[in-house]
Chains A and B, each alone.
Chain A
């Protein structure tokens, strides 16, 4: 079969292919296909768990390498060493051979050992340094305590001898008993514990000590002014030095235990000041030795990491690809006797040639005599939906896909949405000035596309950047609608001669029309700033919304005809499209006609007052055959025409309700009578398939669409193809059709009303920009001279910032959301089937896009 060109109008034609690959080149074949990225491999081992699959061992090994690479990465981040960006490599995407992967794995292993041993020694050294620093602080601070305490030994002694003496009397009676200054603590059997403890624990520490020792201690502490850095996690902790004096060995032991359990580090301090001085000196020399060793270790580590950093990014890419390759290989089934791998994959029919040539290339390179066989299988399975997108269409396609996956070969709503989506936006956003801002922003984003793509963008800007081509179209159309509305930053655009002339030599207040002249393009600028400007623009914009809505919905409804013709389901044409179209046109088409007709007739020349269209529509339904009393008819025979239209609409309702279900039942019964049953089941060919499983998986994946809806859609589709392997249930079809009919008829009304949002939003946008102008720039124009210039500059910036943030970004977002709703609900409900399966090809490119290596 000759495949025709794939376009955006319908999803690409897909074929289910079967590959027979020699076991030896399995990895090379899959990695070559991964570079192509056009095959969606089906899982042929769905029933086996991840651990039972063929290539689990390899994946586990690669996981380990990946972990090592991540470890290098985290080490580099910790040390602040930059990684050479992936974009600096010319072609990091060449697929390596298996031996190169082995080499890389070994290399990573040895590098990891080296780095971790370096790290370990660095950390040990660092810990030693911290300990020494703390010790130095203890020595320094404790020295102070000792000097103070020595003067008070007598005091302490006194308190020990006399049970009544208060423990803390020494504080009050400072400086007594100096004569006993040289008496050592040891003589008094007073021991002490000195150490360092984190500051936030000090309160708890004191409380516990006080309670357990019942106050039999003397504690002194002071804060270390600089924070201590914990080498394990690089956190800064502020600590306190403490020294506790107590009486008796057991108590001292208890204190030691308590302090250790609370995370304090204890250091030995000599009470002799000479010895203490020696200790400090010794600590200092050791510290300086340590610092030089540390510096050396650090520089070795940094050099090692820098060397890795030069190649880390391509390694990561290689390993990621390799892992994905094996994960895909795990989806294949393995024929032990013939030593071949068998794979099933969906691929665009147009790419089959490319796939075949790639496969034969791989074969040639490997020098294998057994060719890789590509088979096309006929199947009744639903092929996945695939659209080839480019930079321009991607955003629009994403908008539609966000609503639902398009059915295979159904009309793609994204194609018309390229125009209608930004156009509906522009109808609401119509202002040439704001449109220009959007356009410039979009052009800038497109111009710096390459640069911006590589940067990490924050969420909001990332979203705008993703939709830069949508913004471009929005900008263009907003300028156009702005010109039509005659608005630029809420000011008028007097391009042509006005059709109005002020009466009384330009003094007004009324205006009269220049004879036989209509303003040629857009709204007449004379309406700007008039007292009845809203009266006119409301009537105009309301009718504009109705007419555009009618046009958009008719356009969308026609796609359902195109779909029915394509899927060869004539019953959808006669049972859904035709009655629906007649119903819609006889009411809302007539409304649109009346609006235009009323505009075209020159009522003043005829000397008549025109009838109100709203009342006309109300009377058309409430009292068919009569017009609003006391008004002129729109045209002759209006009442009769309206009765006929109403009858046509009414007749369409039962047709819409019953024709399709009864026709389907008739078809089914006829087929049954002829003895056909379940043709579909026999036409399944796929050799390695578990049909039941597949069916269940598909249904499970589509639950969000509503179950009964799905079932029916499948039945109708299947009957169209003459494959009836679904139970036929008349009741279900009937219920579905009743729901569809009620929904359609009510939606005709509510959706038409829904398009009035075009009017409301455009009105709000215009009013808001007028208010902004009046409150800022208009005031600024009132000043003159130097003050005027300064005020003008300040106010201009204020006005501009508000214009960009409030009018362009905020209002733009709201208009965008409303336009989105008009497409998802009002337009797509008319034709969208949307029960497709998304195409998820095995592609290195998407893999790296989803999980980028920077």
Chain B
């Protein structure tokens, strides 16, 4: 299942981003702030995405809806 690889691909992307953020952060007295903010943001956003993705990987329940009317009923507001 190709889908199962997504978290790992995501992890690699985030790792690359973090490395880039670490080394490309603007020099000067705010370098620490740039590094920490970018790395932490990337990691926490990845974590949130990962948790959401994993929660739907093998869902135990499926949506049930009684007010559907037909082919495009799902889109009714």
How far is B41's CA from A547's CA once the two chains are assembled, in angstroms? 16
A543 interface residue, CB < 8 Å from B?
yes
Q: Which of A394-426 contact B (CB under 8 A)?
A: 415-416, 418-420, 423
How far is B33's CA from A9's CA once the two chains are assembled, in angstroms? 8
B6 interface residue, CB < 8 Å from A?
yes
Q: A419 contacts B36, CB within 8 Å?
A: yes
Knowing A388-B29, A599-B57 touch, does A509 contact B49 (C-beta < 8 A)? no
Q: A640 to chain B: closest CB distance in Å? A: 26
Q: A778 contacts B77, CB within 8 Å?
A: yes
How far is B61's CA from A513's CA once the two chains are assembled, in angstroms? 10
Q: B32 contacts A8, CB within 8 Å?
A: yes
Q: Which of A478-524 contact B (CB under 8 A)?
A: 480-481, 484, 491, 499-500, 502, 505-513, 516-524
Q: A509 contacts B56, CB within 8 Å?
A: no
Knowing A502-B68, A520-B6 touch, does A536 contact B32 (C-beta < 8 A)? no
How far is B31's CA from A392's CA once the two chains are assembled, in angstroms? 13
How far is B74's CA from A467's CA once the two chains are assembled, in angstroms? 42
B24 interface residue, CB < 8 Å from A?
no
Q: A761 to chain B: closest CB distance in Å? A: 15
Q: A202 to chain B: closest CB distance in Å? A: 71
Q: A8 contacts B68, CB within 8 Å?
A: no
Contact with B along A546-570 (1 / 0, CB 8 A): 0110010000000000000000000
Knowing A8-B32, A781-B77 touch, does A508 contact B68 (C-beta < 8 A)? yes
Nearest-CB residue, chain A, relative to B3: A518
Nearest-CB residue, chain B, relative to A501: B74
Nearest-CB residue, chain A, relative to B71: A506
How far is B64's CA from A508's CA once the two chains are assembled, in angstroms? 7
Q: A518 contacts B33, CB within 8 Å?
A: no
Q: Which of A8, A420, A519, A604 contacts B56 (CB 8 A)?
A: A519
Q: A411 to chain B: closest CB distance in Å? A: 11
Q: Which of A427, A480, A500 contacts B62 (CB 8 A)?
A: A500
Q: B49 contacts A507, CB within 8 Å?
A: no
Residues of B near A601 (CB, < 8 A) are 58
Nearest-CB residue, chain A, relative to B70: A506
Contact with A along B1-40 (1 / 0, CB 8 A): 1110010000000000000000000000111110011001
Residues of B near A388 (CB, < 8 A) are 29
A5 interface residue, CB < 8 Å from B?
yes
How far is B3's CA from A548's CA once the two chains are assembled, in angstroms? 23
A260 interface residue, CB < 8 Å from B?
no
Q: Which of A668-689 contact B (CB under 8 A)?
A: none
Residues of A near B1 (CB, < 8 A) are 516
Residues of A near B3 (CB, < 8 A) are 516-518
Knowing A513-B59, A518-B3, A518-B6 touch, does A506 contact B48 (C-beta < 8 A)? no
Q: Which of B31, B41, B48, B74 contacts A526 (CB 8 A)?
A: B74
A708 interface residue, CB < 8 Å from B?
no
Q: B64 contacts A551, CB within 8 Å?
A: no
Knowing A480-B45, A518-B57 touch, does A527 contact B52 (C-beta < 8 A)? no
Knowing A509-B66, A516-B3, A602-B58 touch, does A523 contact B52 (C-beta < 8 A)? yes
Q: Which of B31, B37, B65, B72 contacts A530 (CB 8 A)?
A: B65
Nearest-CB residue, chain A, relative to B73: A506
How far is B7's CA from A520's CA once the two chains are assembled, in angstroms? 10
Q: Which of B2, B61, B68 contacts A506 (CB 8 A)?
A: B68
Q: Which of A418, A491, A509 contacts B68 (CB 8 A)?
A: A509
A610 interface residue, CB < 8 Å from B?
yes
Knowing A502-B68, A508-B68 touch, does A544 contact B44 (C-beta < 8 A)? no
A596 interface residue, CB < 8 Å from B?
yes
Q: B62 contacts A513, CB within 8 Å?
A: yes
Nearest-CB residue, chain B, relative to A544: B51
Knowing A420-B44, A506-B73, A599-B54 touch, does A9 contact B63 (C-beta < 8 A)? no
Q: A533 contacts B63, CB within 8 Å?
A: yes
Q: B58 contacts A502, CB within 8 Å?
A: no
How far is B3's CA from A599's CA once the two chains are assembled, in angstroms? 14
Residues of B near A1 (CB, < 8 A) are none
Nearest-CB residue, chain A, relative to B66: A509
Q: A524 contacts B56, CB within 8 Å?
A: yes
How far is B47's CA from A522's CA once the two chains are assembled, in angstroms? 12
Q: Which of B29, B62, B69 contacts A511 (CB 8 A)?
A: B62
Q: A481 contacts B73, CB within 8 Å?
A: no
Residues of B near A540 (CB, < 8 A) are 52, 55
Most B CB within 10 A of own CB, among A481, A508, A516? A508
Most A CB within 10 A of own CB, among B6, B48, B70? B48
Q: B48 to chain A: closest CB distance in Å? A: 6
Nearest-CB residue, chain B, relative to A606: B58
How far is B74's CA from A519's CA once the two chains are assembled, in angstroms? 17
How far is B28's CA from A7's CA once the two chains are assembled, in angstroms? 10
Q: B61 contacts A535, CB within 8 Å?
A: yes
Residues of A near B70 (CB, < 8 A) are 505-507
How far is B53's CA from A484's CA once the two chains are assembled, in angstroms? 9
Knowing A507-B70, A508-B68 touch, does A8 contact B62 (C-beta < 8 A)? no
Knowing A502-B68, A517-B3 touch, does A544 contact B52 (C-beta < 8 A)? yes
Q: A596 contacts B54, CB within 8 Å?
A: yes
How far is B52's CA from A507's CA once the two chains are assembled, in angstroms? 27
Q: Which of A509, A539, A604 contacts B58 (CB 8 A)?
A: A604
Residues of A near B30 (CB, < 8 A) are 390
A351 interface residue, CB < 8 Å from B?
no
Q: B6 to chain A: closest CB distance in Å? A: 7
Q: B29 contacts A415, CB within 8 Å?
A: no
Residues of A near B72 (CB, < 8 A) are 506
Residues of B near A531 (CB, < 8 A) are 64-66
Knowing A484-B48, A509-B64 touch, does A416 contact B77 (C-beta < 8 A)? no
Q: A6 to chain B: closest CB distance in Å? A: 7
A171 interface residue, CB < 8 Å from B?
no
Q: A766 to chain B: closest CB distance in Å? A: 14
Q: A781 to chain B: closest CB distance in Å? A: 7
Q: A627 to chain B: closest CB distance in Å? A: 19
Q: A603 contacts B54, CB within 8 Å?
A: no
Q: A7 contacts B32, CB within 8 Å?
A: yes
How far is B32's CA from A535's CA once the two chains are assembled, in angstroms? 43
Q: B51 contacts A423, CB within 8 Å?
A: no
Q: A543 contacts B49, CB within 8 Å?
A: no
Q: B37 contacts A548, CB within 8 Å?
A: no
Q: A500 contacts B71, CB within 8 Å?
A: no
A306 interface residue, CB < 8 Å from B?
no
Q: A603 contacts B62, CB within 8 Å?
A: no
Q: B47 contacts A499, CB within 8 Å?
A: no
Q: B40 contacts A510, CB within 8 Å?
A: no
Residues of A near B45 (CB, < 8 A) are 423, 477, 480
Q: A423 contacts B44, CB within 8 Å?
A: yes
Q: A419 contacts B40, CB within 8 Å?
A: yes
Nearest-CB residue, chain A, relative to B55: A540
A600 interface residue, CB < 8 Å from B?
yes
How far is B74's CA from A533's CA once the two chains are assembled, in angstroms? 14
Nearest-CB residue, chain B, relative to A781: B77
A529 interface residue, CB < 8 Å from B?
yes
Q: A484 contacts B73, CB within 8 Å?
A: no
Q: A597 to chain B: closest CB distance in Å? A: 10
Q: B63 contacts A511, CB within 8 Å?
A: yes
Q: List 26 A-B contacts (CB under 8 A).
A: A6-B29, A7-B29, A423-B44, A480-B45, A480-B48, A499-B56, A506-B68, A506-B72, A508-B73, A509-B65, A512-B62, A516-B2, A518-B3, A520-B6, A521-B53, A523-B56, A526-B63, A529-B67, A531-B64, A531-B65, A532-B64, A535-B61, A540-B55, A548-B47, A601-B58, A604-B58
The 6 closest A-B pairs by CB, nearest first: A419-B40, A7-B32, A508-B68, A530-B63, A599-B54, A506-B71
Given contacts A420-B44, A523-B56, 12 further A-B contacts (CB under 8 A): A419-B44, A480-B48, A484-B49, A509-B64, A510-B63, A516-B1, A517-B3, A520-B6, A522-B52, A599-B58, A601-B58, A605-B58
A residues apposed to B, CB below 8 Å: 5-9, 388, 390, 392-393, 415-416, 418-420, 423, 427, 477, 480-481, 484, 491, 499-500, 502, 505-513, 516-524, 526-527, 529-533, 535-536, 539-540, 543-544, 547-548, 551, 596, 599-605, 610, 778, 781
